[in-house]
A and B are shown apart, each in its own frame.
Chain A
Amino acid sequence: MQTFFQQVINGLSLGSIYALLALGYTMVYGIIKLINFAHGDIYMIGAFWGYYVINQYHVDFGVALVSAMAVSAILGMVIEYLAYRPLRHSPRITALITAIGVSYFLENGMSFLFGANTWNFPQVIGQARYTFFGVTITNIQLLIVAVALVLMVGLQLIVQHTRMGTAMRAVAVDQEAAELVGIDPNHIISFTFGLGSALAGAAGVLIGLYYNSIDPLMGMVPGIKAFVAAVVGGIGSIPGAAIGGFLIGLLETFVQAIGLSAYKDAAVYIVLIIILIVLPAGLLGKNVKEKV
């Protein structure tokens, strides 16, 4: 039982990271139907930014987190402006390939600048362990889950209760109709990228703190897993992405705990395929039937 709860704690920590990343995927997909393959790399940039400001300017964790979110948001918007906006009316596969291209660019660019080796993320927060009934939880795990939850609630508030959020939902439903009622879709799409990228940047700093090591290719696998999480949760659905993220995190941790760590990725994809077969639009997604 203790091990079980221990794994739940570990799974939730990892799941928080996936959930934060999945939110960005799901928002961007929801609004322009693009699998933003570069999203995982924005998370990597967020981690490197945290590394840089903490080492260079000796800022505390809060400043590192917030500034990483800001930098990532700006980067996300710049990428959208330069790479995706000119392709707004191109075939979707063109934008997809471009996203892959942006991903390669960020990965190889950072490898070029920093080398392909791993870097030790500075431990700005001294680790503390708390034990409750035999279950150990570190302050960093608590921090990760807490930050993730705060950001998710914040996001939900923005999307559901602000003018920007309403406009986002409008553009997601019908871009042309939104334009007719005076919404500039370019602004909204840019805002969406900013929001999603900020969450990815936060996840990057959090994972740096959790795993201690960062490298230019660190975004690749979590990026894909987070996309899987978004699909499992029902792509386009914000609560779905959060649930999907926690689910994938827990699943991975448990598969690892029962000694099948070599198969943890396979387990994730098996669950993905099963969920898609049973619920073709994911857990919370709406299955849109074509009108005949």
Chain B
Amino acid sequence: MQAKWKAALIWLVLAVAGFYLINELIVVGVINAFIENMLVTIGINIILATGLNLIIGFSGQFSLGHAGFMAIGAYATAIITQQMSNTLGFYLSLGVGMVIAMLVAVVIGIPTLRLRGDYLAIATMGAAEIIRVVINNLKITNGAAGMYNIPALANWPTVYVFVCLTTLMIVNFARSRAGRAIQAIREDEIAAEAVGINPTKWKLAAFVMGAATAAIGGSLHAVYIQTIAPSDFGIMQSISLLIIVVLGGVGSITGTFVGRNRARGAGHGVAAIWRAADGDLRLSPDFDYGVQA
């Protein structure tokens, strides 16, 4: 009982301290607008990547469609804040985006999560592309031109709070009954079924949870960047998120934070080659996203 309060307190202190540190650095001018912008982008990517890590790292399902759910959140916010351009509108749109993303995740997940490894990757990638093509052709989303002049309803503290909240929730999810069930499926699906874990149900739970966080990331992206277009949410965006997750260490939440910084610092492609050649990917040694031997 003592330990749990201690851990919670440490995290709270760290979160508040981090907030004050950034705040002070902005006040004294060490963090200028450029760095602040970069930090916010990093924060949004942390939100997106922790959600993807839940799907890939913890439940072992190789999804390449994260950008699709991000797009849903971003567009929900862009459309709703056109009518309600205030904070209430933003939080409403955030909720709407999450709900739609979760529903879409259920529709996509039920048929595709039966697939394994690369087949699942390619199917989820296709599903995300379908979402993107639909957005590209709708009137309400303004087609390929995208949406601009989205009200700036999020600043760095908003993003900071959401980074803390989503990370906390995902860590808690991963370290509980649900987390044990999805990790058991990742380790051995047949054995997991033999001990009463329904793989379809739990894989879907992780997928839907990941989709919800992607929608949060998308909503924040929309109100922070203020301009979105379907081309922002293509395959390359999904792949970038995958790279962040892999560089940080599949199945490691702290890694998602670090990986984000590395990928930004070195440029995706170069970082990937360099890190891979270095043999220093902090993956579990025989992590394999498929069952094929």
Interface residues of A (CB under 8 A from B): 29, 33, 35, 83, 86-87, 90-95, 97-98, 100-105, 108, 224, 227-228, 231, 235, 262-263, 265-266, 268-270, 272-273, 276-277, 280-281, 288, 290, 292
Contacts and interface: CB of A to CB of B under 8 A. Distances in A.
B171 interface: no
Nearest to B250: A93
Interface in B245-259: 246-247, 250
Contacts, number: 118
A69 B169 CA distance: 53
B119 A231 contact: yes
A231 B116 CA distance: 13
Contact of B273 (A33, A35, A102): A102
Contacts of B14: none
A130 to B, nearest CB: 35
Nearest to A103: B269
Nearest to B112: A273
B269 A108 contact: yes
A104 B274 CA distance: 13
A269 B125 CA distance: 9
Contacts of A228: 122, 126
| 5 A-B pairs with least C-beta separation | A104-B269, A269-B126, A101-B272, A266-B133, A101-B273
Given A33-B290, A100-B243, A101-B268, 4 more contacts: A97-B276, A231-B119, A280-B119, A281-B119
Interface string B114-137: 111011011101110110011011
Contacts of B284: 91
B279 A90 contact: yes
A91 B285 CA distance: 7
Contacts of A268: 126
Contacts of A262: 133, 136-137
B: interface residue count bin: 35 or more
Nearest to B273: A101
Contacts of B242: 97
A269 B272 contact: no
Nearest to A104: B269
Contact of A290 (B134, B247, B285, B291): B291
A98 B281 CA distance: 11
Contacts of A87: 276
24 contacts: A29-B118, A33-B118, A83-B273, A86-B277, A90-B279, A91-B283, A91-B284, A91-B285, A91-B286, A92-B290, A93-B288, A98-B273, A98-B276, A104-B268, A105-B270, A224-B125, A262-B136, A270-B130, A272-B123, A273-B123, A273-B126, A280-B114, A281-B119, A290-B291
B58 to A, nearest CB: 15
Interface of B is mostly: helix
Interface of B: 62, 111-112, 114-116, 118-119, 121-123, 125-127, 129-130, 133-134, 136-137, 190, 235, 239, 242-243, 246-247, 250, 268-273, 276-277, 279, 281, 283-292
Contacts of A269: 125-127, 129-130
A270 B62 CA distance: 19
By CB atoms of chain A within 10 A, which of B239, B268, B272, B288 has the most? B272
Contact of B111 (A102, A277, A281): A277
A54 to B, nearest CB: 30
A97 B272 contact: yes
Contacts of B247: 97
B292 A288 contact: yes
Contact of B122 (A83, A272, A277): A272
Contacts of B285: 91
B249 to A, nearest CB: 11
